[in-house]
Amino acid sequence: MPKWGMTMATGKIVDWIATEGALVDEGDELVEIETEKSVNVLETTSPGRLVRRVGQEGDELPVGALLGVLAPPGTEVSPEQIDEFVAEFNASFVPEVPETEEVKGPSRVTVDGLVIAHRHHPGGGPPAAPPLVLIHGFGGDQDSWQFNVGEIARDRPVRTVDLPGHGQSSREVGDGSTQFLAGILSAWLDEVEPGPVHLAGHSLGAAVALELASAREVLSLTLIAGLGPGTAVDRDYVEGFITAQRRRQLKPHLLRLFADERFVTRDMVETVLRAKRIESTSEALERIARASILATETEPRIRLASPPSPTQVIWGRRDQVAPSAQAEALSPPLTVEIIEGAGHMVHVETASRVNRLLRRMATVHD
C-alpha cells in the first residue's frame, strides 16, 4: 500500500485493474486505491508477472501492507512459494504509526529577512543521495506535494517549501518576479542544502525551478504544467483566484485545476481560503501574477532549446488553466510526457504516474 499524503494511514482497494497472471510493464496500471483525500491508480514500477492479488477489492489496508505479489519476468514461481512469501511478509510487517497533522508542522528559517516555511523528508533511501526539491504552483503551498513526497522519499530525501507570499512563508515578495522568488529559494538552499539537488516545479514553481537551475548546480529538472515566463495561462483563472474572498467564489476556480472535480473537497477549499485570508496575501499574489505569470513577452521554447540541466516536462492533457498544446509542441533535448485524463494538478490527479517519472528522472541523473 503506497503512502500518498503525510497523514495517510490506510488505503482502500477500489478496483484491481491488472488481472492475476498478467504480465505488467513499468507504468502499467495495477490497482485503484481510495484514501481519505483522493482516489488514485497505483502503477507498476518494475516489469513482472502479477502472480497474486493479496488484497481484495473493498479491503482497507495500512500503508506498507502487501497488496499483491509480482514475480520477475521469465521466472516461474509455484503457488507454495507465493504462499510462503506472503506468510513471511505478513509475519514481519508492522504498520507504521501515522503522523498526525499537529506534529507535522513545517520548520521555519529566515533567509534574506524573509521567513520561509519548509519541510525535510529524510525518507528511507541512502541519506547521501542528492535530494529532490519540490516547488509548488501559484496560490498553493508545499502540501500540494502530499501525494508525491512519500513515494519519492523511498529513493532519496525530499525537500518541500512554501514560496514567499504562500502557505506559511512571509508575504514579502519583492517585485514578484521569478528572479526574486528563485533568489530567495537559492539563499534558502544555501542554508539547508548547499550541494547539488534535483528540482521539480509545478506551474509557477516550474518557472522558479527553471530560474534556479540557471543559478546553481541542478542535476535534473522537471517542469510540471509550466514552462517558465511566457507560459500560456488563462488570465481569468489567475485574476479570479486572486480576487475570490469567499468559499462560493473560490470553488469554481479550484474546480478548473482538476479534470476530476471530486478532488476539490471542502478541506481543500478551506485550506486555500485560510491562506488567502492572511494579511497582505492578495497583494503578494497580485504582484507575483503581474510580474511572473501574466507578463507574456518571453517565448519559452527559445529558452528551453538549451535547458540549463537535463529537463523533462510533464503535463495533463485536460489542463484547463495552461493548455497542454504548448508542451506537445516541445522537442528534444526535452522529454515530454502528456498524461491523459489529468488536469492542471497532474501531480495530484495522477500522483503514481508523476511519482514514477520524478523518481526515474532523478535516478538517471544522480
Decide: is 168 part of the binding site for other proteins (CB under 8 A).
yes
CB of 279 to other proteins, least distance (A): 4
Q: Could you write out the DSSP letters of every residue in 161-180?
A: EPPTTSTTS-S--TT--HHH
Decide: is 279 part of the binding site for other proteins (CB under 8 A).
yes
Those residues with Cβ within 8 angstroms of residue 128's Cβ, 6 or more apart along the chain or in another chain: none
Reading phi first (left if > 0) and then psi (alpha if -120 to 50, else beta), residue 18 is in: beta
Decide: is 266 part of the binding site for other proteins (CB under 8 A).
yes
Question: Which of 105, 194, 195, 252 is close enough to bind other proteins by CB under 8 A?
Answer: 105
Which of the stretches 40-48, 155-163, 186-194, 262-270 binds other proteins when contact is defined by CB under 8 A? Answer: 262-270
What one-character DSSP code corresponds to residue 263?
A: G
Which of the stretches 231-239, 242-250, 303-311, 338-346 binds other proteins when contact is defined by CB under 8 A? Answer: 242-250
Nearer to other proteins, 75 or 107 (CB): 107
Decide: is 102 part of the binding site for other proteins (CB under 8 A).
yes
Decide: is 245 part of the binding site for other proteins (CB under 8 A).
yes
One-letter amino acid of 122 = P
Decide: is 274 part of the binding site for other proteins (CB under 8 A).
yes
Judge contact between 362 and 132, C-beta under 8 A: yes
Question: Which of 72, 90, 104, 329 is close enough to bind other proteins by CB under 8 A?
Answer: 104
Burial state string for 230-241 with b = 16 or more CB within 10 A and e = fewer than 16: bbebeeebbeeb
Q: What would the grid cell of residue 74 be?
A: 521469465
Cα–Cα distance for residue pair 170/178, rounded to 1 Å: 16
Decide: is 60 part of the binding site for other proteins (CB under 8 A).
no
Nearer to other proteins, 251 or 303 (CB): 251
193: number of Cβ within 10 Å = 16
CB of 245 to other proteins, least distance (A): 6
Q: Which residues bind other proteins (CB under 8 A)?
A: 101-102, 104-106, 168, 171, 245-248, 265-266, 270, 274, 277-279
